[in-house]
Amino acid sequence: MNWNTCIADCLDEQPAEEVRLVCGDQLNGRHSWFQESPNAHRLYVLMEIRSETDYAVHHLQKVVAFFGAMRLFAQSLKGAGHRVHYVALDSPGNQQSFEANIERLMRTVQSTRFQWQLPDEYRLDEVLAKFGESCRKRGWTATSVDTEHFYTERADLARFFEGKKTFRLESFYRAMRLKHDVLMDAMGTPEGGQWNYDANNRQRIPAGHSIPPPKLFPRDVEPLVSMLTNAGVQTTGRLAADGWGWPLTREEGEQTLVYFVEVLLPHFGDYQDALTKESWSVYHSRLSFLMNAKILSPGEVVHAVEEAWRADPHRVSISQAEGFIRQILGWREYMRGIYWAKMPEYAQLNFFNHTRSLPRWYWTGETRMACLSHAVDQTMEHAYAHHIQRLMITGNFALLAGIDPDEVDAWYLGVYIDALEWVEITNTRGMSQFADGGIVGSKPYVSSAQYIKKMGPYCKGCHYKANEKVGEQACPFNALYWDFHARHREALERNPRIGMVYRTWDRMDAEKQAALLATAKMNLNRINEL
């Protein structure tokens, strides 16, 4: 398609009474804004700006996905009769910031009313709130509206846990199930007799098992890539070898949801934690970008999954449906709630005072550790990795090695197509790195090589030996696991969920302990060469 069909060569300077900003993650065609009759005096503006491309080093596919989806959304708004102004990254007069572009636009069309949807990122919320104040000082009207996307409002989770030091998912998740009547029976009890089927969701991919391919949507994105290159936008990653495949429109999103429900959902719960080299997406839905850009709503996704279970519980078991719904109705809303309850202080938390730099191979995949090499290379190829790859491979190593959580945050925020700060930072700094000291998770999620060996195929044929604990050939995860617990004993040993670790450590003889710590030190000293 022609990416430029939605972009005017110059601004229509006819007066408009109101300017409405649509951000790149607010592509919700079902928002009440767009249900109003098209009006020439109401002007919608979307913009590609350097303040959004440059706050992190983003994956090439992530920038292309957001810009491409924005252009297609603008095109759909125009097709529905709405008046739209689109500012491309290389448009003449682009001031490369929301405030400057909006002010210029409002003066051009002689508008005195500005309206925006509440952003989901703290930094942008501050920018637009401040701009709204400056509008009012000029005598203009400036108001914000809800995005009409989430199950909860920003402050709901903070109110739910008022007076509590820690926020635990399970009680919040159960309350959400009850409130929204999801997977509940007529008696108000959970379908299947239990709330959570997580214990059923940890199977390894059987030998010879054939995983369906992901549903792809080929598209020529070279014009967008060329624009980014010519503008000097710094990115990481690359386009996939088999070409573009991510869904970018409402129609493509609906097709992706149908494919997930009909083809992938019957095995989603079983293998959602499994690691494999045979498929980059396994049975995961690949709906997170669509939801985070608000092309699809969490409500319609949850409804589709629940209806699939109700229609045929033999095809889609309760553990498959609940395992998925927990991620959306529970975890996604929970992460957003913690973000708004704890920002901006949350972004500074560093419970372990970790300061080591991120290894260079996190950007290349050039490490002899097979699991990390695969996870990073897949990330650079597809801008995607599922939650266990993120938590127990790349995140696990970063925590064991004592990487600065600022650098870990920046990496995760940049390299994944679905990464926006409200969902990234609470998962990374909280769940993955325990830098929040236990607000999100009840313990650090770390493991030795044995978990990785159990859940995936990487250890066989790896340069390092999963069963060896010390020495140059031992898997680095093993000694680093013990070194992490030893150096953070004062902070962790009273945690009831990891007391067994210290009892095991204390039963080791001093020589074995010293060998493990020496091996960990050796690996940390050569971390960029592992």
Strand bridging mode 113-117 / 42-47: unpaired
What mean pLDDT is predicted for residues 204-213?
Answer: 91
- What is the rounded distance in angstroms from the CA atom of residue 142 to the CA atom of residue 155? 22
Tens of pLDDT, residue by residue over 88-124, are 999 988 999 999 999 999 999 999 999 999 999 999 9
Lowest-confidence region among 90-99, 141-150, 194-203, 282-291 = 194-203
pLDDT band at 251 (very low <50, low <70, confident <90, very high): very high
Token code pair at residue 455: 């859940």
The domain that holds 97 is classified in CATH as 3.40.50.620
What mean pLDDT is predicted for residues 40-46?
Answer: 94
Residues 292 and 364 in one domain: no
Residues 103 and 131 in one domain: yes
* Cα distances (Å, whole numbers) of residue 500 to 432, 434, 503, 505, 506: 21, 19, 5, 9, 10
Token code pair at residue 224: 């967008």
Residues 328 and 442 in one domain: no
**Contact in structure between 120 and 148 (CB atoms under 8 Å):** no
Domain span at residue 244 reads: 156-218+238-342
Give phi and psi for 488, each to the nearest 5: -115, 25
DSSP single-letter state for residue 26: -
Q: Say if 230 falls within a structural domain.
A: no
Q: What is the CA radius of gyration of the chain?
A: 24
Q: How many other C-beta atoms lie within 10 A of the C-beta of residue 20?
A: 21
Output the DSSP codes for 192-254: GG-S--GGGS-PPPPTTPPPPPPP------HHHHHHHHHHT--EES---TT------SHHHHH
What is the tally of structural domains in the chain?
Answer: 3
Query: Residue 515 is inside which H or E element, if any?
Result: helix 510-525
Give phi and psi for 403, each to the nearest 5: -75, 140
The residue out of 342, 369, 402 marking a domain boundary is 342
Specify the pLDDT at position 18. 96
Is pLDDT at 9 greater than 50 in this prediction?
no
**Contact in structure between 71 and 223 (CB atoms under 8 Å):** no
Specify the pLDDT at position 11. 60
Residues 173 and 113 in one domain: no
Residues 306 and 376 in one domain: no
Is pLDDT at 463 greater than 70 in this prediction?
yes
Q: Say if 52 falls within a structural domain.
A: yes
Specify the pLDDT at position 7. 55
What is this structure's pTM?
Answer: 0.95
Residues 166 and 85 in one domain: no
Residue 474 pairs with which residues in a beta bridge? Answer: 465
For residue 461, the number of C-alpha atoms closer than 13 Å in the C-beta half-sphere is 8
The residue out of 125, 145, 165 marking a domain boundary is 145
Tens of pLDDT, residue by residue over 385-439, are 999 999 999 999 999 999 999 999 999 999 999 999 999 999 999 999 999 999 9
Q: Say if 101 falls within a structural domain.
A: yes
Place of tokens 């996190």: 362
Residues 250 and 385 in one domain: no
- What is the rounded distance in angstroms from the CA atom of residue 523 to the CA atom of residue 472? 8
- What is the rounded distance in angstroms from the CA atom of residue 107 to the CA atom of residue 111? 6
Residues 335 and 367 in one domain: no
**Contact in structure between 275 and 389 (CB atoms under 8 Å):** yes
Q: Say if 399 falls within a structural domain.
A: yes
Residues 301 and 445 in one domain: no
Specify the pLDDT at position 4. 57
pLDDT band at 1 (very low <50, low <70, confident <90, very high): very low
Tens of pLDDT, residue by residue over 486-512, are 999 999 999 988 988 999 999 999 999
Q: Say if 491 falls within a structural domain.
A: yes
Q: Is 260 left (phi over 0), alpha (psi -120 to 50) or beta?
A: alpha
Is pLDDT at 200 greater than 90 in this prediction?
no
The domain that holds 382 is classified in CATH as 1.10.579.10
Q: Say if 353 falls within a structural domain.
A: no
Which alpha helices (H) appear in 392-496, and where do they start and end? 396-401, 405-415, 421-425, 449-455, 476-487, 489-492
Closest CA to 179 of 170, 188, 168: 188
The domain that holds 242 is classified in CATH as 1.25.40.80
Is pLDDT at 40 greater than 90 in this prediction?
no
Residues 105 and 201 in one domain: no
Q: Say if 232 falls within a structural domain.
A: no
The residue out of 105, 126, 145 marking a domain boundary is 145
What mean pLDDT is predicted for residues 463-482?
Answer: 97
Residues 95 and 169 in one domain: no
Specify the pLDDT at position 8. 46
Give phi and psi for 83, each to the nearest 5: -85, 125
Q: Which long-range contacts (CB under 8 A, 24 or more apart) does 254-262 make?
A: 254/296, 255/215, 255/217, 256/215, 256/285, 256/286, 256/287, 256/290, 257/285, 257/287, 257/296, 257/300, 257/301, 257/304, 258/304, 259/215, 260/285, 260/286, 260/287, 261/304, 261/305, 261/308, 261/316, 262/308
Three-class secondary structure of residue 329 per DSSP: helix
Residues 134 and 160 in one domain: no
Give phi and psi for 222, each to the nearest 5: -60, -40
Mean per-residue pLDDT of the chain: 94
Q: Say if 280 falls within a structural domain.
A: yes
Specify the pLDDT at position 14. 87
